[in-house]
Amino acid sequence: MITSVKGTRDLLPPDTRVWNRVEAVAREVFALYGFDEIRTPVLESTELFVRSVGESTDIVHKEMYTFTDRGDRSVTLRPENTAGVARAYVEHAMAQAGRPWKLYYIGPQFRYERPQKGRYREFRQIGAEVLGAADAAADAELLVMLFDFLLRLGFTGVSVSLNSVGTEATRPAFVDAIRSFFSSNEKTLGDDDRRRLAENPLRVLDSKDPAVRQLVASPGFPKMVDLLPTLDPASDAHYRELKVLLVASNVPFKEDPLLVRGLDYYTRTVFEMTAEGLGAQNALLGGGRYDKLVSDLGGPKTPGIGFAIGEDRLIDVLPEAFRKVTIDDVRPVTLIPLDRNDVADALVLAKELRGAGFAVDVVTAAKGPGYGLKVAERSGAAVAILLGQKEREERTANLKDLAGRTQEVIPRAGLIEALRARL
């Protein structure tokens, strides 16, 4: 048996209804905030991710689906979508529009990792990006939209973790402060954290080692937000303004000075949301500002901010009410021709009913009422219509309410009205 590739999976009905509905809500909400969809290729030049996501990140140095195509080009299945959006922005000179771009995307991403709960090699992200807006208000509005979306899916009582990671102006000073903090108690660090301290010191902040966590959470541990007022007043002002705007907009957030993110391109604002029930991979969404990314890719200096929601994880923790309503949404009318001679009649009637807006399923096998009703019931139909020789000749329909187990013979002329009354 040929199975799906490791770390990939099939999404089957009726779950696909839920996926489609979630995506439809995203499109509706994002449109209300002035966002348009962008679709970028799944396949990009490997160099794009090396330059944007960052060579020192795990994503680039061990998690990419990279291969050489027949033209000897190194290409990669995108591990995230922000780089592709930024690349398209530069490639199509979108800065020339003279206004910020508000873009969203929905699509598969790929990372070559060992699969576990909430983590797949092929996963989907729903994301949004604002390109060309530097103001804290842009950050705020993006988060307002995010919460609007989550609220419409039925999430309640959620809040986002917020932090500022500064800019190149502050990053080196912060890294120095972290290193000197640990120089005195380096022996409490495990191998992993020692490696982090050397390669990517910010990562030590979200170590899972209890001893290190305790150290990092202690009052003496350096915090980026404490360095901002003196080293980078502009970033400090940005952060303060953002918080004021979020409070004014009723966006629930909690400041987390330990929040850092795994991609190199973030500047100033970073945020993340976690959820219960996702196991160890509990990050539901993440995002932040990336004011250097576009220029790093050779474009004009363009500030940007965005988020990505892990759609697989989102659906994993989706409120049950939303799921149920979505799955129960489609209640087809099932037409049951009793005999081969009744099939044409059924197809003609089906067309008429579909024209009137009803979802109609025809049991084409025409194996009699017992089989037909069984199929109708199993496919979730609310009503079934039996069509035999008698109904054809008398221009009637035998309308059955499957739940109530009642039936009624109705003239064809009044059928649409009768169905409207029942559905």
Partner RNA sequence: GUGGGAGUAGCUCAGUCGGUAGAGCGUCGGAUUGUGGUUCCGAAUGUCGCGGGUUCGAUCCCCGUCUCUCACCCCA
Q: Which is nearer to RNA, 245 or 285 (CB)?
A: 285
Q: Which is nearer to RNA, 238 or 392 (CB)?
A: 392
Mention every residue, 6+ apart, whose C-beta is less than 8 A from residue 205.
178, 216, 258, 259, 260
Cβ proximity of 215 and 189 under 8 Å: no
Q: Going by DSSP bridges, is the β-strand pair 74-77/36-37 parallel, antiparallel, or unpaired? A: unpaired
Q: Which is nearer to RNA, 22 or 376 (CB)?
A: 376
Least Å from the CB of residue 193 to RNA: 8
Q: Which is nearer to RNA, 141 or 391 (CB)?
A: 391
Q: Which is nearer to RNA, 263 or 294 (CB)?
A: 263
Least Å from the CB of residue 237 to RNA: 26
Q: Which is nearer to RNA, 72 or 276 (CB)?
A: 276
What distance in Å separates the CA atoms of residue 372 and residue 222, rounded to the nearest whole number? Answer: 71
| Number of helices followed by number of strands (H, E) in the chain | 17, 16
DSSP string, 43-101: EEEHHHHHHHT-TTSHHHHHS-EEEE-TTS-EEEE-S-SHHHHHHHHHHTTGGGGSS-E
Q: Which is nearer to RNA, 88 or 385 (CB)?
A: 385
Structure tokens at 407: 């039936």
3-state helix, strand, coil in the chain (%, to 5): 45, 20, 35
Least Å from the CB of residue 11 to RNA: 13
- Written as one letter, the residue type at 236 is D
Least Å from the CB of residue 375 to RNA: 8
Least Å from the CB of residue 96 to RNA: 29
What distance in Å separates the CA atoms of residue 35 and residue 18, rounded to the nearest whole number? Answer: 22
Q: Which is nearer to RNA, 95 or 284 (CB)?
A: 284
What distance in Å separates the CA atoms of residue 16 and residue 150, rounded to the nearest whole number? Answer: 19
Cβ proximity of 58 and 84 under 8 Å: no
Mention every residue, 6+ apart, whose C-beta is less than 8 A from residue 175.
201, 202
What distance in Å separates the CA atoms of residue 146 and residue 246, rounded to the nearest whole number? Answer: 12
Residue 398 has φ and ψ, to the nearest 5°, of: -95, 100
**Burial of 72 (C-beta count, 10 Å sphere; 0-12/13-18/19+):** exposed
What distance in Å separates the CA atoms of residue 72 and residue 207, rounded to the nearest whole number? Answer: 40
Nearest alpha carbon to residue 282 among 257, 309, 313, 255: 313
Interface residue list for RNA (CB under 7 A): 3-4, 6-7, 57-59, 62-63, 80, 111, 113-120, 123, 125, 192, 196, 203, 206-209, 261-263, 272, 279-286, 308-310, 312-313, 338, 368-371, 373-374, 376-378, 386, 388-391, 398, 400, 402-405, 407
Least Å from the CB of residue 248 to RNA: 26
Least Å from the CB of residue 170 to RNA: 19
Least Å from the CB of residue 99 to RNA: 27
Q: Which is nearer to RNA, 236 or 310 (CB)?
A: 310
Least Å from the CB of residue 401 to RNA: 7
Q: Which is nearer to RNA, 173 or 402 (CB)?
A: 402
Least Å from the CB of residue 410 to RNA: 12
